[in-house]
Structure 1
Amino acid sequence: WLLFLDADDVLAERALERFLSVTHNTVPDVILAGYSRFTSSINAPQSVQLPVSSLIPKALFSAVAPQCAWLHRRDSFLANGGFPTDIRYGEDWEFGAQLALSGPEVATVPEVLAYYRRHPGGQSQITDTNPQKYREFATVAARICARVAETPEVCQRYAEGVVRMAFVHADN
């Protein structure tokens, strides 16, 4: 199992035990848990999000959740290519889309197990002051668009939205 945790993020007490509690009857490719975004204290959340049970369509358009709320089965993570190493921004979004398009078995833990810290000047908050972020998001959007085109059932349903999203990122 793999769980990616930034040094400033926090896991709930006994989080790994609760993640793995859903593996008694099945061994999913990924387990998603709820998460809370916070700035200074996990007791003062900015938002709380429970996990989605299906990665499509959300993973095609944005990162589903911070990686601290995902527990990946190692062999599935590696079989889906892991995080791209040629970009600094959007690598979690690209991996989530790749995983979603592979048709993974997803399990969920409907409680907050991860606390994702947001810094006002942090990378996830940087907007138009960093053109490199937009160039890399455009790269990710184009790659996702190409993968959707190779997946007929997903292409038929979501291609228009994915292409529109790719153009939006390309324009920035």
Structure 2
Amino acid sequence: IRYIHQDNAGPSAARNCGVAAADSGFIAFLDADDRWTPDKIKRQLRAMESHPQAALVAGDMQEIDKDDAVLTPSVLAKHDILKFFQDLAGAPIPDAFALLMHINFVPTGTVLVRKAAFDDTGGFCADIRYGEDLEVWARIASQHPIVCLPEVLMLRRQHGQNATQNTGPLLEDLVKVTKSVRNWGGPKLRDQGLDPNRLVAEALWELGYWHFTREQLTEARHKFGESLREKFTGRSLLFASAA
């Protein structure tokens, strides 16, 4: 075990520093408040051996409280995609890039990724605090086969201090991520059946709705208007008028 200290520069800088110091062919991530299942890495290495072309293996996770009580037995089931991955039985995911941008099924704490594939992405963007991991996994999924095991590999602790509870900044950064992904991956998303403009429009709508529910109507109107300019939808028009 090597301990590396650096000034707090956010999760992206910390993870990039750890990856740069690693000399293994595989990389895995674990935040301080989460836990892996005992055989997580073993199961993922077995999947890599079965599918040597795969660059990344993720998996299911449970959500637990501060006392280790299970809040969510399966996050994949919570999002109605567990059966899809069970049917794949550990095989590479068809059109994984578009699926990942439609619904993020890759919790970073479940990831085992080939270091070479990770390095090719350029690492996590330090300018984005929330959703920076989604863009990296999307870059990998756009270039390589990836796998998601329908098995719980991680226990994620839910409490008020989780970074991803900070909804407003998270939604703002997800808009940045979807715009970035559209810039470099738009044609491939279209090839896989996902409209990148709609992807950006939906992220803007979610941010607008967050402002709307807090009666921040000027900000909400602005985001709904941006959403309409990206892709016209009745939902955005309705809320833009209401705001």
TM-score (norm 1): 0.81
Structure 1 residues 149 and 105, CA, compared in 2 at 3 Å: closer, same or farther?
Answer: closer
More helix by share: 2
In the alignment, the residues of structure 2 paired with residue 30 and residue 150 of structure 1 have an alpha-carbon distance, to the nearest angstrom, of 22
Question: What do the CA deviations read for 1:65-109 (whole angstroms, capped 9, x no partner)?
Answer: 32111110110111122221221111012212222222x222343
Larger radius of gyration: 2
Give structure 2 stretches of 5+ with no counterpart.
Answer: 1-25, 77-81, 86-91, 209-222, 225-243
In the alignment, the residues of structure 2 paired with residue 140 and residue 108 of structure 1 have an alpha-carbon distance, to the nearest angstrom, of 22
In the alignment, the residues of structure 1 paired with residue 51 and residue 138 of structure 2 have an alpha-carbon distance, to the nearest angstrom, of 23
Q: Which residue of 1 aligns with 2:62?
A: 36
Overall identity of the aligned pairs, in %: 22
Q: Which residue of 1 aligns with 2:71?
A: 45
In the alignment, the residues of structure 2 paired with residue 155 and residue 41 of structure 1 have an alpha-carbon distance, to the nearest angstrom, of 45
User: What SS class does the counterpart of residue 79 from structure 1 fall into?
Assistant: helix
Q: Which protein has greater RCO, CA pairs closer than 8 Å, 6+ apart?
A: 1
Q: Which residue of 2 aligns with 1:122?
A: 162
Confirm whether residue 158 of structure 1 aligns to residue 194 of structure 2: yes
Question: What do the CA deviations read for 1:98-151 (whole angstroms, capped 9, x no partner)?
Answer: 22222x2223433111111222342211224xxx43432221121122223243
Question: What do the CA deviations read for 1:29-77 (whole angstroms, capped 9, x no partner)?
Answer: 0012221122224452324135755333232145323211111011011
Structure 1 residues 18 and 41, CA, compared in 2 at 3 Å: closer, same or farther?
Answer: farther
Structure 1 residues 107 and 141, CA, compared in 2 at 3 Å: closer, same or farther?
Answer: closer
Q: Which moved more, 1:160-169 or 1:31-40?
A: 160-169
Match of 1:135 among 138, 157, 172: 172
Whether the 8 Å contact between 2:62 and 2:154 is mirrored in structure 1 is yes
TM-score (norm 2): 0.60
Number of positions where the alignment pairs a residue of Structure 1 with one of Structure 2: 166
